[in-house]
A and B are shown apart, each in its own frame.
Chain A
Amino acid sequence: MSLAIRSLTGRETPPAPAEIDAFLAAHPVPLVEGSSVTFLYRGEAHAVRLHHWIYGLPSARPFTRLPGTDLWYLIEELPPGSRVEYKLGLIAEAGEEEELIRDPRNPLLARDPFGANSVCHGDRYEQPAWTLPDPEARPGTIERLTLAETALGREVPVALYLPARFRTSRRYPLLVIHDGEDYLRYSALRTVLDNLIHRLEIAPLVAALPAPGERLVEYADDPAHARFLAEELVPALERRLPLRREPAARGLMGASFGAVASLSTAVRYPGRFGRLLLQSGSFAFTDIGPGRRGPVFAPVVRFMNRFRDRPERVSERVYVSCGIYESLIYENRSLVPLLQGTGMEVRYEEARDGHNWENWRDRLRAALSWLFPGPLWMVYE
């Protein structure tokens, strides 16, 4: 397939500015054609680079300037279904520092706690409909409470998602979500829960979103964090709300370090949490040597090495997902047979995506409908 950009390249004389204007007006940026993506930037610069978060590729990819013009382009391979977040790096003059910017011609953005990135949707990627607001879905509510004097040595604010038509005469499953406020902000968690409950694909559930403190400490196999969840938060919620008490109706969920916190809490309290949802877990381990990920990961490595030595059946069902463009794919792939070997039911899903909130958002339907199946087959309203 001849790429559209070839209509401008390889000429003896450069295209006129008006022709470049017309080209840019006629094509979305970046330009996805099958498994090829053409990134484009127009403007004076010494150099332009693509910064992406695809593990395995050099992180900075140089653009080529179309000779005699101010149009820069870069053609990359991107398999179907991929979703990639990126920024452009501009170097105005030789020797100057690089400035990272979002792609000015691409309206697609993904936000995270550090700001926002531009997004490239590969061929056949579509944002799932169930992640978008549905006017027919009855909205759940968010309530807030604070737990004082916790095992963490601090007050813990907790956001509670209560499903639409919540009532005290009914009993609900409980899902405790690490980094829950970030899931709300960047993964459309509230919309997703509203929609999946409305579609009867998941059971109406209560989600508890305790705010982290020093998350890299608390989430890295911290016994105080596990104690807080299992001995303080869950009992407090069970006193306050109509919750089902069996393990199958009690889940832990998290991404990255939050997945580590979920698994390590389940390991410290085996049989307490029957459902685990682990996304892009930072499950660093070592077979030999000190590991390559630095001191923040040291407690995680110790925990994972212990767990790898003596894996246990600590839960009933575990859903694990990871993006294949993440550096953590090796660790997550390694974890799956280990979990399966304990006799836990394990579902594992990979996506052509990176370590980001929209990847985690897009997996929620498959994960939650398996962990907390709804009455889809039985209810016809």
Chain B
Amino acid sequence: MPSRAVPLVLLGPQRFTRTLGEAVRATGIAGPLALVTAGWQEREGEDEVLREHLAAAGCAAENLRLYERTEELFEADPELAAAHRERQERLRHLQELYRLRLAHLKAAVRELDLREGPPELLAPERRHALEAVRALDAHHLRRVRALRRATDEATGLRRRPALLRQAAGVRRALERAAGVAIAGGHVAVLLNRLRLFGGGRLLRGRPLFAWSAGAMVVAERVVLFHDHPPQQSGDAELLDAGLGLCHGILPLPHARRRLRLGDPRRVALFAERFAPAAALALDDGARLVVAEGGWRAGPGVFRLTPAGRVEPAGELP
């Protein structure tokens, strides 16, 4: 397997099974680590347990305070704050429109799946129905990107003094760090905050450890998923592009709790819909070391396959 000079490690959720310290040690990084806990929103600063865990592994940590910095930024630049609110409102609206169309397309996929008849007639229709879902996903992603780009350009985001000041503070903190640990939480908040301060450009080339929503945002696409919510049907949704720091992987934290992994048809549809990215279940204890063009997965990482199976992810290539 080609080795990656800068480690990128995706972990299972850390609340009950903390493996971050061990993962950091295994990469030979002495620290300190820059922490991103913006997904915890107003609890961003409540990172004592995480710090203690890292300290026990001999690693110091400094929180980048991206959530708090954003609040300060919006206070200092109300025009930017208003533009951000408006953009988020438009994104929410767009997501609703996408959800509406997705529900109909997914219903067709499900209905065709239950139909009986000559395979030579049914199979192409099923494939085409799934392609329609994939095409809608791609269309939605394009629209979300375009909407974001338009707002960034309209607000002159990268030239705003208040943002430049905060971003400089983030960069200085990163220069003191030997790597970055990105925790979970609210995935849209986390993604927005990271993107605001530079996104992929900010983190590329730095050793990264990410879990839960953190693992989701470093991938190429962010997919929201739950197979048995208390309301509605549980159709996975594309939210946005991720930071694109790892390729060909769709991380699925808490997959055992959130997905019906015992239902081969659902597993197959999920895997096919998001192919060629590998849908990888990252539950407690999971560790996935991402390498150029592949990965090395620990025993806790499972891959959802188009055949409807959930298999140990192993190594790729």
Q: Do A and B come from one complex?
A: yes
On A, residues with C-beta under 8 Å from B are 136, 165, 167, 169-170, 201, 365-366, 369-370, 373, 375-381
Binds A, one of B120-128, B162-170, B226-234: B226-234
A319 to chain B, nearest CB (A): 11
- A369–B230 Cα distance when bound, in Å, is 7
Contact A381 B237 (CB under 8 A): no
Residue of B nearest to A136 (CB): B16
Given A136-B16, A376-B226, also A165-B231 (CB < 8 A): no
B306 to chain A, nearest CB (A): 24
Given A136-B16, A167-B43, A169-B42, also A378-B230 (CB < 8 A): no
Chain A contact residues: over half helix, strand or loop, or mixed? loop
Residue of A nearest to B46 (CB): A165
A-B complex: 8 closest residue pairs judged by Cβ atoms = A369-B230, A380-B213, A380-B212, A377-B224, A381-B184, A380-B253, A380-B184, A201-B230
A32 to chain B, nearest CB (A): 26
Choice from A136, A165, A366, A380 contacting B216 with Cβ under 8 Å: A380
B181 to chain A, nearest CB (A): 15
Contact B186 A378 (CB under 8 A): yes
- A373–B185 Cα distance when bound, in Å, is 17
Choice from B16, B184, B237 contacting A377 with Cβ under 8 Å: B237
Contacts of B16 in A (CB 8 A): 136
Contacts of B216 in A (CB 8 A): 380
Contact A380 B188 (CB under 8 A): no
Contacts of A380 in B (CB 8 A): 13, 184-185, 187, 212-213, 216, 253-254
- A378–B226 Cα distance when bound, in Å, is 10
Beyond contacts A165-B43, A377-B224, A378-B186: 14 other A-B pairs, Cβ-Cβ < 8 A, are A136-B16, A201-B229, A201-B230, A369-B231, A370-B230, A375-B186, A376-B229, A377-B226, A377-B229, A378-B188, A379-B185, A379-B187, A379-B213, A380-B212
Contact B13 A381 (CB under 8 A): yes
Q: List 24 A-B contacts (CB under 8 A).
A: A136-B16, A165-B43, A167-B42, A169-B42, A201-B229, A201-B230, A377-B226, A377-B229, A377-B237, A378-B186, A378-B224, A379-B185, A379-B213, A380-B13, A380-B185, A380-B187, A380-B212, A380-B216, A380-B253, A380-B254, A381-B15, A381-B39, A381-B212, A381-B213
- A170–B185 Cα distance when bound, in Å, is 16
- A373–B232 Cα distance when bound, in Å, is 12
- A165–B41 Cα distance when bound, in Å, is 12
A189 to chain B, nearest CB (A): 17
Contact B231 A370 (CB under 8 A): yes
Contacts of A369 in B (CB 8 A): 229-231
- A365–B229 Cα distance when bound, in Å, is 11
Contacts of A366 in B (CB 8 A): 230
Residue of A nearest to B95 (CB): A377
Instruction: Kindly supply a per-residue 1/0 record for chain B positions 1-21, scoring 1 wherever the CB is within 8 Å of any chain A CB and 0 otherwise.
Output: 000000000000101100000
Identify the interface centre among A169, A369, A377, A380: most chain B CB within 10 Å of its CB.
A380
Choice from A136, A167, A365 contacting B230 with Cβ under 8 Å: A365
Contact B184 A170 (CB under 8 A): no
B315 to chain A, nearest CB (A): 25
B293 to chain A, nearest CB (A): 26
B131 to chain A, nearest CB (A): 25
- A375–B188 Cα distance when bound, in Å, is 11
Instruction: Kindly supply a per-residue 1/0 record for chain B positions 214-225, scoring 1 wherever the CB is within 8 Å of any chain A CB and 0 otherwise.
Output: 001000000010
Contacts of B39 in A (CB 8 A): 379, 381
Identify the interface centre among B13, B15, B187, B229: most chain A CB within 10 Å of its CB.
B229
- A136–B186 Cα distance when bound, in Å, is 19
Residue of A nearest to B212 (CB): A380
Identify the interface centre among B43, B184, B230: most chain A CB within 10 Å of its CB.
B230
B236 to chain A, nearest CB (A): 9
Contacts of A370 in B (CB 8 A): 230-231
B24 to chain A, nearest CB (A): 20
B183 to chain A, nearest CB (A): 8
Contacts of B253 in A (CB 8 A): 380
B270 to chain A, nearest CB (A): 15
Residue of A nearest to B41 (CB): A170
Contact A373 B231 (CB under 8 A): yes
Residue of B nearest to A370 (CB): B231
- A47–B184 Cα distance when bound, in Å, is 64
